[in-house]
Every structure is written in C-alpha cells, then in structure tokens.
Structure 1
C-alpha cells in the first residue's frame, strides 16, 4: 500500500468517526439507548478499507440474547473484528482509557475498564459486567488476560467469569446465563496459509512496539480472519466458575486447532470489494478483499 493510499484510508476513517460518533453518543446519553449500529459500521469500514475478510461459523447467541463471551486474544485487530459482528461491549485494562484515539473508539464500544493494580477491582468490574448481562447485552472478555503469539492458547482466567453470577443476582428470576466460547484466528494472508513462524507478524503481544507492527499490518497484504462461536455453556447459580471457565477454554482450544490445521468450516456470505459489503448489517461476512 502506498503512503498516499494509507493517508486516504485514514482520512476516510476519521471522517466516518466524525459522522458516526455524535449521533451515537446522543442516542445513548439523551435517549437512553444502550447501543447503536455506529461501532459496527465503523469497524466494518475499517476492515473493508484494509482488506480484512472475516468469516464466522458456529452457534452465536440469538439477537438480543445476553451472553458473556470468553475469547482468546491475538492482536488489537481482534477488537475491530469482534466489534464488527454485532452490538457488544469489551472488558479492557484501564490504561487504554488514556491512549489517544484508542480511548475514543473504546468509548464508542462502552468499554468496561479494570484497574489491575487496585485491590477489589475484580469484584467491582464483575458487578458492572453482571448488570450489562442482566440488561440483555453481550460482554466480551479476553479470558487469557493478555495477547498471545497466535501459536498457543494461554490458560483462561476465571476471576471475571464471576460476572455471570453477578448477572443472576442482578435480575430477579433469571435462572441462567449463557457463557459463549469464541475462537479467533488469522489463518491466511494474501490467499496463502499463514505458517507458524509468520503468525507473530499478525499477533501483537509482549513488549512489541506498536508502530513497526502497524507498518507490517499495512504492508503485508489482505488477511483472512476466522471466528468460531463455540458450543455455549449454561451458567447457573450452582455452577463452579472455574469448571465453566475450563470448559470454555477447552472449546476455544478445539476450535483453534481446527482452524490452524485447516479443518475449520467458517464460510463467507457476501460478495466482492467494489462497495463496502460489510455495511450490510444483514450479512455474516463482515468485509471482503
């Protein structure tokens, strides 16, 4: 991608944000809406502009069904990909709230922040997540607690899965909450399989500097992303959160194994690039190269 092409894409994204953000915030703050389609449209435009094609399969929650989504985490791009699928909120570390540009995008998504240095933060955040779930929302938790290199799945942490119990307590009469395993992987680039040694070029993890990583992302060519909604797990008052977390981890691990060994079955559903097909909210393919 040329420098002029990159600048043009960034300008289009900035204009899209300026158009979408004000009515989104007005709808939420003045009209009491919990969410709008603005974040979805913005993320889908990003994916289309940068030739990222998202394919999904599995058993996603029904529209309007609350679920605590437990996902693996590979890159900052995960947020754009998952955010393009449907209305939802993320749980993120509190440092993001001070990052320029990123914090504005996080505000669009109604991100729930956790200060990992503060004692008692887990209980506070679990309660906030529980209220979102009780209101019928999707809340996405990157259960590894950090990003990985794309080659291995880190153990899922169970502490914030307690939000499911908080949801049961927040809504009288609710007997169960859906825990939704979600696997995300980047199996192909430029139409070719991404081999093990190349996955770190897409993943952003550890102490990697963001600027060189973004340069590689922009220059590396089209990316195929595969998202698998795993078999849901029912969380009830008597459910052991550690057992439920382990079950979600196993489901994600199995899905990733299928994707990375080319046994996944996710299928795109929309056509070619000339117009941003991802802006069609009726389709399950989010963007196309």
Structure 2
C-alpha cells in the first residue's frame, strides 16, 4: 500500500508540475482555455487517485451558474472539478496562503472571501457578481466549513447575496449539488470508513492525504438537482433553505445506498418562505 501511495503521489506531482506553467501562461494570455484546463487536470488527478466520479443528472448549461454543494473534504475540489467543466470555487481567504495547494487554488481562479469579516460581505458579493457577469460559473460551499460526510451544516444565507443581483437581463441560475462518497474498495463506505474521506476539525491536511493515498479505489457520487432562481422564493434565506433541503436529500440517498434521482422541480408558490 505504501509503495503504491508513493507512486501515486509521484505521478500527481509530475502531472501538476507539468501543467502549472501551462495554466499560468493561459491566464496571462487571457485565453478561454484557462477555464477548461482545470477540468482536464482534475479528471486526470481523479484517475490517478482511483476515484470514480459518478454523475447523476447534469450540471446547468446556463452560463453563468452558481453551484451550491455540501463540503466534506479537500477531495471535493477534485471530484467537483472532474464532474463539470469551466468552474471556479469560492473559498476562505486562508486557502490562498497554503503552500502548494494555495497556488493550485489561485490557478483555478478561486474567489477568496474572509468569512469572519461581515463588514466585507458587500465587497465579496460584488467580486462574485463581477466574476459571474464575465461568464464564470462558481462553486459555493455555503456551510462555511467541512462536515463529517454523514450530515450537513446549515447553509449561511449571506453567501447567497450574489443571487440577488441579476446577471445581464436574467436572474442568476442556482443549482444545488449533493456530493457523497459511496464506495471504498468496491464496498459501501458507511460510518466506519467515512473518516478516510471527511477532513474536519483541526486535522492536518498532509496526514489525511497520505491515509487516503494508501486506501483503495473509491466512488464519489455527484447529484445535480433542479436549478432555480431567487425570484422563485421571497428571499435569499428561502433560496438557501431550499438548496439545503435538496442537498440533504441527495446526500441521505447516497449514504443509504439508494440511487439518487432528480427531485421534483421547485414550484414558485410552494417554495415561498413563511
């Protein structure tokens, strides 16, 4: 197991070092390929890590779209990026300062926010709106932290502020996404093995990454739910609550071994918050 982990890590580093200067050049040239190269990169990384990414439903074709997902692990970045092209993430400011991984985040054109500084909420919203208006789709983790993979935290409605601003002459498309880790070594993960995936609390990244590299092949499930717009709700809180419910339903199905499926589309009248 250790020898294979070393081999996998070596291939990952070689692949990454090869593509970093390419992406840097594409960003400098403002090439459209700067959006799609991370998709190629992460699909290859998923293959190297022996993570099969199974999609249920399809990502929104609307450009741009704000994808709203639960957050379990550092591995989520690989899985979600391998499941849909042309996306960037919204992440906490400190991620950009991490050695190596911070560089990768910047090269995927991540939007960094200071989640603890409420007085900067409007500034971060405007930055997100600007990126969305330029045609960039973004992935948001509205829990504000990672979970244990068995449940999800409440969604912070402040993160949905960008959905209140129209993009051009249309309301922003918001699509809930459920992400779960279903199988390890071809067996259901269950509570016992979820710790190999979930990266929570104050655990250091490198030891968690090393344990995962020594594990066997795995399957991640990404379910794309029915998209919505904020005008189907009476507030961003209503939108956040609806997204939370959809994501929770999907994660529950994944963890229970049920085949997740597309949920009933939201009905404008039924989704109004009280």
TM exceeding 0.5? yes
What are the residue-to-residue correspondences of 1:171-250 with 2, within 5 Å? 171-172=167-168, 174-236=169-231, 239-250=234-245
Which residue of structure 2 aligns with residue 151 of structure 1? Answer: 150
**Are 2:53 and 2:221, in contact at CA under 8 Å, matched by a contact in 1?**
yes
Structure 2: distance between partners of 1:238 and 1:227: 25
Distance between the aligned counterparts of 2:33 and 2:68, measured in 1?
Answer: 21
Shift of 1:18: 2.9
Larger RCO (alpha carbons 8 Å, 6+ apart): 1
Name segments (4+ residues, structure 1) moved above 6 Å: none
Partner of 2:265: none
Q: Distance in 2 between matches of 1:208 and 1:7?
A: 21
Q: Is the 8 A contact 1:89 1:139 kept in 2?
A: yes
8 Å contact kept, 1:91–1:113? yes
Do the aligned partners of 2:233 and 2:239 also contact (CA within 8 Å) in 1? no
Specify whether residues 237 and 189 from structure 1 end up closer, same or farther in structure 2 by C-alpha distance, changes over 3 A only.
closer
Tell me, in whole angstroms, the C-alpha distance in 2 between the residues paired with 1:91 and 1:192.
32
Q: Secondary structure at 1:176's aligned position in 2?
A: coil
Q: Deviations over 1:160-213 (max 9, x none)?
A: 2111123x1xx44x2311111000000110011111232122100012233332
**Inter-partner Cα distance in structure 1 for 2:260 and 2:231:** 31
Q: Which runs of 5+ in 2 are unaligned?
A: 262-274
Within the candidate set 53, 63, 72, 1:74 is matched to: 72
Relative to structure 2, which stretch is displaced further, 89-98 or 108-117?
108-117
Compare 243-252 and 82-91 and name the one that shifted more: 82-91
TM-score by length of structure 2 reads 0.88
SS of the residue 2:242 aligns to: helix
TM-score if structure 1 supplies the norm length? 0.83
1:256 maps to 251
Partner of 2:12: 13
Mapped partners of 1:32, 1:217: distance in 2? 35
1:48-59 aligned within 5 A = 48-59=47-58
Corresponding residue SS for 1:227: strand
Question: 1:126 and 1:109 mapped to 2: Cα distance?
Answer: 19
Residues 13-162 of structure 1 aligned to structure 2 (within 5 Å): 13-31=12-30, 33=32, 35-62=34-61, 65-85=63-83, 86-162=85-161
C-alpha displacement of 1:223? 1.0
Which one has the bigger helix percentage? 2
2 CA distance for matches of 1:71 and 1:225?
Answer: 14
In the TM superposition, what is the alpha-carbon distance from 1:58 to its structure 2 partner? 1.8
Task: Note the C-alpha offset of 1:10.
Answer: 2.6
* RMSD, aligned CA: 2.0
